[in-house]
Structure 1
């Protein structure tokens, strides 16, 4: 069955507010507005939205888009917005988003704690090695560098994370497991990017230390090995610089391509380094020991093999598939693929697989087809509307992100703005262990998303009436954070998960935490 056929007939005259008040789609003249203005408002009609993605999933290159539909925030009135210069508005939005991404998430987030923990442990090891208290590390610094590279690779392996998320839900998604344990596991899994970054920085330190050791013992280390190791270090430094938040935020395509190709080049040189290091005999100053028997006993060879396997594992499932792209309006497109997909999973698509990949939430009833909803906020997503593709490149391994962890809880509230609804839509169509409720705030829902999408949200049997649909074109701009807190309290939710732009997600998560309700939303480098 096609996912759109899941929608049931419904009355289109009213939406429900968070406080149990019904609003007509065409309010009576003179009736007061019961919605309250907010500093965050996801409007699909905002043509000045920048390309900043909403990160809620994980990627081996770095976390990228879950849905390109969370749109820029505008703190001024509609009248001022219409008269303001486009360049000034976009610059203001970019500064605001970057500030939220880098500063407003706090100094002691789980992500930063994991980063500090990884760097601290490696620093202790380095200090002990340098002072002679850790002889093995002193003699095998390159092995420690490769160990960190393997760890950061595993943190971005879609197949590995799929298994890890499944295990988390299986082990901790039991009724008797305390909510505090579940939220702790959720916070750690969402913040594995901190391990990725921390191990990346640590690998540079270990490799630099290994180079220093090699230069101090030039009589035992051939120049070829030193040269290759120096090239690897240079490529890894370049890759790390491209991943610096400011560069990544303002030039995402540059980051993605540099991170990928510099990493692949460093991996190729790593094999050269392993072979040269294993085969060199200091006694004869030649490569007399370069035999298979010697190579298979080398730890660094097996580490290089593991790094290579997990790096290219996602690429083994890449294929070009036919798609059907339907533009609901000039602001959103629905892309349909063959094959059903479980709820909570995300997928990646590309027009040019070696150039850039974009991740989106998946809408599916897990039967014959699945779909992705893309809002027009960047060049890639706008092109899906102006130039609808007939084929796209996809990765066959769908990865698990934050929404997948909803299956761990007994009761949860989903908060979505704009096309952020797409990451939750599969939950409305498929049975699952959690008792869910939904708050969806968007502009021009029928016009931008289609009647089927609206009907699916409104009539979901799984929600059993626990749904709030707020059309801002009719009801005005709401305080989404207040809606979230009220909905979570009303339905007794154990956790709130939000998909919105950085400002909106921050406000919802902050308000829920102040109200004593665990909440999670997109973070930088999930």
Structure 2
């Protein structure tokens, strides 16, 4: 739970006051017993029998404890309104706002354009760094280097590293605010002393302003969710135009303002003496590193069902806990998937991605399996990598959410319990994936929603936490259910993590 260390895990929670929900399980839906897992060989018939046949299990009724906090409003503020993503955004933006005010006050309302431009370029660099794969991986590595002997409250907070999108958006918005100020200052300077370099500087300033506003408008959560493909295109092309224009603008700006320096220095010497030059170099390198790794690779599709497909790649090995971006139209759209190490004898190298029907692109991918796909950037860590911070965890997945979890199961570094709710699990995802799940947790709860209806995700997740004395819950599901389960756990003092959908 954000901002609160209860230090309470396991059965102790069951003694909390005033329950509001009771765990109830429909008849015929049970966890796989250890005995059944022990007798489960890698034959399809035995696996099918294990899933389809009810195993008698009489769980002790377990009541959910009351939520912590004085009221529903304070819980909403703590867990939803002030999420770590928003806290990160607010801290970065507030720091920039303070610097902004200081700039204005110190110069009696007349700050120098080069100083304001440097502040804008620094924020732009930070925004791009938090989208660069190697930098993000470094942030993850630093966070998960914390040992298990460290206090749980510290590990819980370090696991929030996946909210780095708040730094990206906070710095990005701050860069735009700084640049509005810069454009106002250069407009003032042009009218006070008009010349061709001042005009060129002013023109590129307004061009940059337009690109930044396009990017911000398209990134609004409502527009981004409703028109995601357009958001990607606007973000990408406007960003490229802005980066090129920023370089041109820096040259024009250097030529305009170098005359105020003693000497004055040459345009080149003045340019390399400015912070803007070096921050733009780093920003450009970030873009080149990602797009310079653009490659088209052979794909070996394995159709699992009419709802899911597994795409195998053989051009390299892939350790656990990495994700990859793939595309059929590299300039227009990209889709991120968690990778799964291959161990089925397809070759000395290999990994795969599990794709399920979740939209137009995935539907087309299943109906017409691709033979080649574009891959961009370096493989990047994701949410589940932070599971290494905990001694025991509960993994919750619905439907194709099991795909990203497979990498964690293959890694086998953190003791875990598994709760997977999906329609027709074996028919949809096949024997191999079922075997991986059961190997990772012989007592895994595999809930067939087609047969048994929808389960009480919160109650069963809580039961698994208590039974296993897990330190944290990780859920991979749709946005609505993810938020519901994370809130239900966090508001009861249990660390819970799910993918964020506003980054």
Across the aligned residues of Structure 1 and Structure 2, the Cα RMSD in angstroms comes to: 2.8
Instruction: Decide whether aligned partners of structure 1 residues 313 and 116 sit closer, same or farther in structure 2, where only a CA change above 3 A counts.
Output: same
Which residue is 1:513 aligned to?
Answer: 490
Stretch deviating more after TM superposition (325-334 or 136-145):
136-145
Question: In the TM superposition, what is the alpha-carbon distance from 1:323 to its structure 2 partner?
Answer: 0.3
- CA offsets 1:314-368 (integer angstroms, 9 cap, x no match): 1121100000122222211111111332222111100011110000111115763
Work out the CA distance in 1 between the residues paired with 2:155 and 2:427: 38
Question: In the TM superposition, what is the alpha-carbon distance from 1:295 to its structure 2 partner?
Answer: 2.8
Which residue is 1:214 aligned to?
Answer: 186
Contact 2:128 2:286 in 1 (8 A): yes
Work out the CA distance in 2 between the residues paired with 1:104 and 1:474: 38
Which residue is 1:130 aligned to?
Answer: 104
- CA offsets 1:366-395 (integer angstroms, 9 cap, x no match): 763211111112111011111111000012
**Alignment partner for residue 199 of structure 1, among 168, 171, 191?**
171
The DSSP-based 3-state class of the residue aligned with 1:144 is: helix
**Alignment partner for residue 152 of structure 1, among 120, 127, 146?**
127
* Match runs of 1:397-436 below 5 Å: 397-432=378-413, 434-436=414-416
Contact 1:129 1:138 in 2 (8 A): no
Does residue 354 in structure 1 map to residue 336 in structure 2? no
Question: In the TM superposition, what is the alpha-carbon distance from 1:123 to its structure 2 partner?
Answer: 1.2
Does residue 177 in structure 1 map to residue 157 in structure 2? no
Larger Rg: 2
**Alignment partner for residue 450 of structure 1, among 418, 430, 434?**
430
TM-score, normalised on structure 2?
0.80
The DSSP-based 3-state class of the residue aligned with 1:374 is: strand
TM-score, normalised on structure 1?
0.77
The DSSP-based 3-state class of the residue aligned with 2:329 is: coil
- CA offsets 1:390-449 (integer angstroms, 9 cap, x no match): 0000125111111111112211111111111111112222342x2222111111111111
**Alignment partner for residue 480 of structure 1, among 438, 451, 457?**
457
Contact 2:133 2:290 in 1 (8 A): yes
- CA offsets 1:10-50 (integer angstroms, 9 cap, x no match): 732555xxxxxxxx61569xx9999xxxxxxxxxxxxxxxx
Which residue is 1:296 aligned to?
Answer: 272
Equivalent pairs counted in the alignment come to 434
Contact 2:111 2:185 in 1 (8 A): no
**Alignment partner for residue 364 of structure 1, among 341, 351, 357?**
341
Contact 2:113 2:186 in 1 (8 A): no
Unaligned regions of 5+ residues in structure 2, if any?
A: 1-40, 60-75
Work out the CA distance in 2 between the residues paired with 1:452 and 1:353: 31
Which residue is 2:83 aligned to?
Answer: 109
Instruction: Decide whether aligned partners of structure 1 residues 26 and 175 sit closer, same or farther in structure 2, where only a CA change above 3 A counts.
Output: closer
Contact 2:215 2:235 in 1 (8 A): yes
Work out the CA distance in 2 between the residues paired with 1:103 and 1:382: 38
Work out the CA distance in 2 between the residues paired with 1:496 and 1:198: 28
Higher relative contact order, structure no. (Cα contacts within 8 Å, ≥ 6 residues apart): 1
Work out the CA distance in 2 between the residues paired with 1:477 and 1:185: 33
- CA offsets 1:441-477 (integer angstroms, 9 cap, x no match): 11111111111111111123xx4x3522222223332
Work out the CA distance in 1 between the residues paired with 2:42 and 2:78: 41
Which residue is 2:30 aligned to?
Answer: none
- CA offsets 1:205-261 (integer angstroms, 9 cap, x no match): 111111111222221771110110111011011111000111101000000000010
- CA offsets 1:263-290 (integer angstroms, 9 cap, x no match): 1100000000111122336759xxx965
Which residue is 1:80 aligned to?
Answer: none
Work out the CA distance in 2 between the residues paired with 1:252 and 1:105: 26
Which residue is 2:159 aligned to?
Answer: 186
Instruction: Decide whether aligned partners of structure 1 residues 494 and 32 sit closer, same or farther in structure 2, where only a CA change above 3 A counts.
Output: closer
Work out the CA distance in 2 between the residues paired with 1:426 and 1:191: 20
Question: In the TM superposition, what is the alpha-carbon distance from 1:510 to its structure 2 partner?
Answer: 1.9
